[in-house]
Amino acid sequence: MSFGVCAAIAPHTPKLITNTDAPEHTRLRRSVNAPFLVKRIEAMRPAVQRIVDDLIDEMLAGPNPADLLTALALPVPSLVIAELLGVPYEDHELFQENSNRVLDSSLTADEAAEAGRALSTYVGTLFQRKLAEPGDDVLSEMGAKVRAGEMAPQEAISMGVAMLIAGHETTATMISLGTLALFEHPDQLALLRESDDPKFVNGAVDELLRHLSIVHSGLRRVAKDDIEIGGQTIRQGDGLLFDLQAANWDPEAFPESERLDLTRPARQHNAFGYGPHQCLGQNLARLELQVVYSTLYRRVPTLRPAAPIDRLTFNHTGTAYGVGCLPVTW
**CA 301, chain centre distance (Å):** 26
Q: CA nearest 282: which of 291, 290, 272?
A: 272
Q: Is 248 left (phi over 0), alpha (psi -120 to 50) or beta?
A: alpha
Predicted confidence at residue 112, as pLDDT, reads: 86
**CA 245, chain centre distance (Å):** 16
Encode the chain (330 residues) as per-residue pLDDT tens digits.
333 444 444 444 677 777 788 888 888 888 888 889 999 999 999 999 999 999 999 999 999 999 999 999 999 999 999 899 999 989 888 887 888 788 777 788 899 889 889 999 999 999 999 999 999 999 999 999 999 998 889 989 988 988 888 777 789 999 999 999 999 999 999 999 999 999 999 999 999 999 999 887 677 888 989 999 888 999 999 998 888 888 999 999 999 999 999 999 999 999 998 888 888 899 999 999 999 999 999 999 999 999 999 999 988 766 778 898 999 999
25 within 8 A of 276, measured Cβ to Cβ = yes
> In Å, what is the CA distance from 2 to each residue of 21, 35, 53, 233, 319?
10, 24, 39, 16, 21
- Quick one: DSSP state of residue 70? I
Domain covering 13-214+272-329 in this structure, CATH number: 1.10.630.10
Helix (H), strand (E) at residue 178 = helix 169-184
Predicted confidence at residue 5, as pLDDT, reads: 43
Round to whole Å and give the CA distance between 296 and 176. 11
223 φ, ψ (degrees, to nearest 5): -70, 125
> In Å, what is the CA distance from 295 to each residue of 27, 64, 201, 284, 288?
38, 19, 10, 17, 11
> In Å, what is the CA distance from 206 to each residue of 8, 203, 228, 266, 308?
28, 5, 29, 6, 27
**Could you tell me the strand order of the sheet in which 66-67 lies?**
66-67, 327-329, 304-305
> Across the strands, what pairs with 66?
328
Give residue limits of the domains in the chain: 13-214+272-329
